[in-house]
Amino acid sequence: MTTAHLPHTSSSARSATPPAPFGTDVTWTNWGGNQSATPAFTVRPRTEQEALDAVRFAIREGLPVRAVGSGHSSSPLVQTGGVLMDMSALSGITGTDPVRRRARALAGTTINAFGDPLWEQGLALANQGDIDKQQIAGALSTSTHGSGKDLGSFSSSLRWVKLINGYGEIVEIGEGQLRELRAAQVALGTLGIFLEVELAVEDRYYLQEQITYPTWDETTATWQSDIDANRHYSFLWCPEEGSCELLDLPGAPGLSMANRSYTKRYNIAQIQDEQISGTEGARLDRSYRIYPGGFTTPFHELEYFVPNEVGLSAVEAVQDLIRTKHPDQKYPVEVRWVKADEGYMSQFPGRDTTVITLTTEPGTDYWQFFRDADSVLQDFEPRAHWGKIHFMTRSRLERLYPELDTFIQVRREFDPRGIFLNDHTRALLG
Ligand SMILES: Cc1cc2nc3c(=O)[nH]c(=O)nc-3n(C[C@H](O)[C@H](O)[C@H](O)COP(=O)(O)OP(=O)(O)OC[C@H]3O[C@@H](n4cnc5c(N)ncnc54)[C@H](O)[C@@H]3O)c2cc1C
């Protein structure tokens, strides 16, 4: 994406035609290559003031505004024909509080940029997902998560945010405004442009990795004990011998991976003098070095969230679907666990959750598979990952999100004219 810096001058902010160096006619495309847009203007603010100038310009010109983080969402969240704000230059840790276990960062800070600075202060993020390339505001906006039955999503750790609202003002939301904070925790970019956030973090910790390759019967036999006994437990069930390689994962040496699981267990290890180990399948290292995988080859995903009580049944329903109707789907099915939280539009309010991720190959016609998976999973009251392909509608949200009306009220208070909506988010949250 070609971008331009926005000048910080009040005269430029007043002009009807945006002065150079606004970017124009730039096509934006996401990581997976399945979403693109040609915004009227693309801006890359370097300061809060430049971000504010961009939003005020959009308000005067009657243009909608969307922010883009690292572009790793495969749902149509970022598209706009108005002003696209590339937040990557607003990056960096702005403060840490080891006593209260808090960290502040600019909105465009990528997750991997938290690792070293937090560690030096004796702190670490409580959990992380499969990659660490997302910007923190992007991760928060879709309730990005890792795995661990006692661990919440990134959004559940948000304690304060500074943002630009739809009036073109900079406002703050803290723990004294729980109603607004729970809306901001997962907002899909619709409350405004996040500038800076504060997260609850943990004392730093080392993780011991353990990779195993059980058969499906062995996976189900220890289902609950694995969930309960490990800080992080997750697995990728492989329908075919070659499934692991599709995600660049090493298969089991000397064993066919067909109907086996590639399981990951990460538990806290007490070590001295940084005795880290790079042994494959048994790494021991600082937490933030253990979590992220590679995933350099693009793929498209659908990810649904069901209550733990029906997690195993839901996974088996998906396996049946693949075996009986979509045997051409060879990617592993990933299964993870996330603790309940209170964000109004989070996938996790009120229920400890089993996460089921279906991965497909770009360029193939996977739509019937995703539609069938959506249909099969309806029996389990699924919520959906906002940053992945899904089939959620407003009426489904009304059934599944008890605080949907509260979220929409808060959204309208922050952005009464809906300048931060696009077609996708208007249909869901307008
Ligand atoms: C390879 C890969 C691995 C992944 N692994 C996981 C995983 O393990 N767990 C998981 O839960 N998800 C995972 N995801 C999904 C990913 O975490 C989410 O889609 C996340 O939102 C992407 O962050 P981003 O910075 O790329 O945001 P984008 O995709 O660029 O944007 C996402 C949303 O955030 C909004 N936004 C971004 N910045 C701001 C801002 N400053 N102010 C207001 N709104 C903003 C955008 O408008 C948009 O609505 C993965 C995706 C990929 C491609």
Residue from 55, 84, 85, 134 to probe ligand 1 pocket by mutation (most atoms less than 8 Å from CB): 134
User: Binning pLDDT at 50, 70 and 90, where does residue 20 land?
Assistant: very low
CA of 73 to the centre of ligand 1 (A): 5
**Which of these CATH numbers, 3.90.600.10, 3.30.365.10, 3.30.43.10, 3.40.50.2300, describes 10-86?**
3.30.43.10
Q: Is 107 in the pocket of ligand 1 (CB under 6 A)?
A: yes
Count CA atoms within 13 Å of residue 151 on its CB side.
25
**Residue-wise pLDDT tens digits, 215-261:** 999 999 999 999 999 999 999 999 999 999 999 898 888 999 999 99
Q: Which atom of ligand 1 is nearest to the CA of 142?
A: 21
Asked if residues 236 and 262 have their Cβ atoms less than 8 Å apart, the reply is yes
Q: Is 299 in the pocket of ligand 1 (CB under 6 A)?
A: no
Cα dihedral sign for 298, 304, 307, 311? negative
Predicted pLDDT of residue 23: 60
Count CA atoms within 13 Å of residue 152 on its CB side.
23
Q: Is 205 in the pocket of ligand 1 (CB under 6 A)?
A: no
Alpha-carbon distances of 245 from 93, 295, 331, 399, rounded to whole Å: 36, 11, 9, 39
Q: Which CATH class is domain 93-203?
A: alpha beta
What CATH architecture is 206-395?
A: 3-Layer(aba) Sandwich (3.40)
Average pLDDT of span 100-107: 98
**Residue-wise pLDDT tens digits, 130-140:** 999 999 999 99
User: Which residue has a Cα nearest atom 31 of ligand 1?
Assistant: 138
Predicted pLDDT of residue 25: 56
Asked if residues 195 and 107 have their Cβ atoms less than 8 Å apart, the reply is yes
User: Which residue has a Cα nearest atom 40 of ligand 1?
Assistant: 194
- State the residue for tokens 């009426």: 395
Q: Is 158 in the pocket of ligand 1 (CB under 6 A)?
A: no
Ordered DSSP codes for 133-174: -SBHHHHHHTT----BTT---GGGGEEEEEEE-TTS-EEEE-
Please tell me what DSSP assigns to residue 341.
B
The mean-pLDDT minimum among 12-26, 300-314, 394-408 falls in 12-26
User: Which residue has a Cα nearest atom 32 of ligand 1?
Assistant: 138
Cβ contacts of 328 within 8 Å, gap of 6 or more: none
Domain boundaries, the chain: 10-86, 93-203, 206-395
Predicted pLDDT of residue 15: 45
Task: Tell me the C-alpha distance between 407 and 324, whole Å.
Answer: 40
Q: Count other C-beta atoms under 10 Å from residue 420's C-beta.
A: 28
Q: Which atom of ligand 1 is nearest to the CA of 68?
A: 30
Q: Count other C-beta atoms under 10 Å from residue 201's C-beta.
A: 23
Predicted pLDDT of residue 275: 85
Q: Is 334 in the pocket of ligand 1 (CB under 6 A)?
A: no
CA of 396 to the centre of ligand 1 (A): 22
Please tell me what DSSP assigns to residue 239.
S
Res. 24: pLDDT tops 80: no
Q: Count other C-beta atoms under 10 Å from residue 294's C-beta.
A: 10
In this structure, which amino acid lies at residue 371? R
Asked if residues 305 and 391 have their Cβ atoms less than 8 Å apart, the reply is no
